[in-house]
Structure 1
Amino acid sequence: MDIERISVLEEDEGTRLDILLSDEIPDLSRSYIQRLIKDQMVTVNGSLEKSKYPVKTGDLIELKIPEPKTLSVEPQNIPLEIVFEDEDLLVVNKPQDMVVHPAPGNYQNTLVNALLYHCKGRLSSINGIIRPGIVHRIDKDTSGLLVVAKNDFVHRSLAQQLKEHTITRKYHAITLGNIKENKATIEAPIGRNPNDRLKMAVVNGGKEAITHVKVLERFKDFTYIEAQLQTGRTHQIRVHLSFIKHPLLGDDTYGGKTKKFNLKGQVLHAKVLGFNHPTSGEYMEFQSSLPIYFDKLLTILK
């Protein structure tokens, strides 16, 4: 077990404990540091404090870092559609109905299982043993592009680009009803639904969330759109479209439930992904074709 000791400087007075530690030890993610604090692996002047504790000049912080756990998620030989790959990262086109990473009760047949096999375990470790390499996620029933980090340096760089909203993420979707404006920006904070903790919702005090919507084509009862994320909150596009009374077609959770078309879930595809390569600095942008079911649905609607 490694032990880190930090003495708080005057310039850091008032900073949250978890933020100070993540700044001082950049190899550890803030979420991991928060877990260590919760697990009583962090003391301030010999006492336990919470993540939000405002540090004081002269505080002596001691952080115990456990040895990494042996990865318990098994590699599986599952075919992957790889759009790009080099020694630092890969961009994959995830199919609909595939879960991104394992969770209790579901430790097989996920994207992570496939990545562990393909990359022979060479993936970033920042997000722990369950989510190696995973920088950002898309829902099980959402298809499309994801970037995966093969090492921690690349992971941190991509995570910072996400934080600074410099990664391009454009989704194609079909909504219920006709959206009148050709272009619109939905700016509404998102947090846990107070009436159903399994859902997200537009709520006062939620995290900033901004989605840019462009109409691509209108049909009798539906609208084909492009939605570009400026921020990346959980279920953001689904929640925002439901908020403006145009939920995604097939989205049982947020008001787009329908028995038509025999859909497996919301009609949402991560079509465009662009970012600065962490090693070369070059801006790279990728596009993926719409899945077969999506193309067929557009033909039916026309």
Structure 2
Amino acid sequence: GKLVNGIMYQMKNLSGINGEIRPCIVHRIDKDTSGLLMVAKNDVAHRSLVDQLVNKTVTRKYVALVHGNIPHDYGTVDAPIGRNKNDRQSMDVVDDGKEAVTHFNVLEHFNKYTLIECQLETGRTHQIRVHMKYIGYPLVGDPKYGPKKTLDIGGQAL
């Protein structure tokens, strides 16, 4: 039931850089997040795609629906992310975390929500979800970082 199994069934001799568990997958997205993944057919392509991510010559943008009405048209969250000290399965903004930078632009305002576009400068685990919660605008439908009373959409609106 995993994407990588379907890819392996359709194609042979995929990139083996990430080993048997995640061959050909260049980067990950959070569970219940929709979007595109970079997949490498061979090791040369895999290394090139990873280099592009590291050198920031490729752009990753996401659209998210957040709780609340963001009063400004754009912003940047520059706050380090690390493991939550009280819940090892969650991430949080922490002083000793790794650098994390998320830029966002408001696309549209709704009654109780704001639709935004996020662009990642770094790629930390749950980065958009953690940063938006940190500034007071958690993602709609986020079971881990969002409010208990949210729209039931089967996962975060990301």
Alpha-carbon contact 1:191-1:200 (below 8 Å) kept? yes
- Which whole-Å CA distance do the structure 2 matches of 1:265 and 1:191 have between them? 22
Listed one character per residue, the Cα deviations across residues 3-30 of structure 1 (whole Å, up to 9, x for unaligned) are xxxxxxxxxxxxxxxxxxxxxxxxxxxx
Structure 2 vs 1, CA of residues 257 and 251 (structure 1 numbering), >3 Å: closer, same or farther?
farther
Deviation at 1:255, TM superposition (A): 2.1
Indicate if the aligned counterparts of 1:200 and 1:234 stay in contact, CA closer than 8 A.
Answer: yes
Is 2:151 aligned against 1:265? no
Note if 1:220 corresponds to 2:111: yes
Partner SS for 1:205: coil
- Structure 2 gaps of 5+ residues are none
* TM-score (ref. length: structure 1): 0.51
CA drift of 1:257 comes to: 3.6
In the TM superposition, structure 1's runs of 4+ consecutive aligned residues that sit over 6 Å from their partners are none
Per the TM alignment, residue 258 of structure 1 is displaced from its structure 2 partner at its CA by 3.2
Q: CA deviation at 1:239?
A: 0.5
Query: Match of 1:113, as an amino acid?
Result: N
Report the equivalent of 2:2.
110
Residue in 1 that maps onto 2:129: 238
Matched ranges for 1:52-131 at <5 A? 109-120=1-12, 122-131=13-22
Cα-to-partner distance string for 1:124-178 (whole Å, 9 max, x where unaligned): 1111100000110111200011110111111111111111222111101100001
Offset of residue 256 of structure 1? 3.7
In terms of fraction of residues, the more strand-rich structure is 1
Task: Select 1:164's aligned residue among 26, 38, 55.
Answer: 55
| Greater mean alpha carbon deviation, residues 170-179 or residues 152-161 | 152-161
What are the ranges of 5 or more consecutive residues in structure 1 without an aligned counterpart?
Answer: 1-108, 269-302
Specify the SS of the correspondent of 2:89: strand
| Counterpart amino acid of residue 6 in structure 2 | A
Q: TM-score, normalised by structure 2?
A: 0.96
Which protein has greater RCO, CA pairs closer than 8 Å, 6+ apart? 2
* Correspondence 1:208 to 2:99: yes
Letter matched to residue 264 of structure 1:
G
Once superposed, what is the RMSD of the aligned Cα atoms? 1.1
Structure 2 residue matching 1:226: 3-state secondary structure: strand
One-letter identity of the residue aligned with 2:42: N
Q: Secondary structure at the match of 1:147?
A: coil
Q: Is the 8 A contact 2:140 2:150 kept in 1?
A: no
Measured against aligned partners, the alpha-carbon deviations of 1:12-62 in whole angstroms (never above 9, x if no partner) come to: xxxxxxxxxxxxxxxxxxxxxxxxxxxxxxxxxxxxxxxxxxxxxxxxxxx
Q: Which residue among 28, 48, 69 is the counterpart of 1:178?
A: 69
* Residue 86 of structure 2 is aligned to residue 195 of structure 1: yes
List per-residue Cα deviations over 1:99-123 (Å, max 9, x = no partner). xxxxxxxxxx001111101213x21
Asked if the contact 1:189/1:206 (under 8 Å) is kept, the reply is yes
Distance 1:166 1:245 in 2: 30
Q: Which amino acid aligns with 1:266?
A: Q
- Number of matched pairs: 158
1:220, 1:201 → 2: CA distance?
Answer: 28
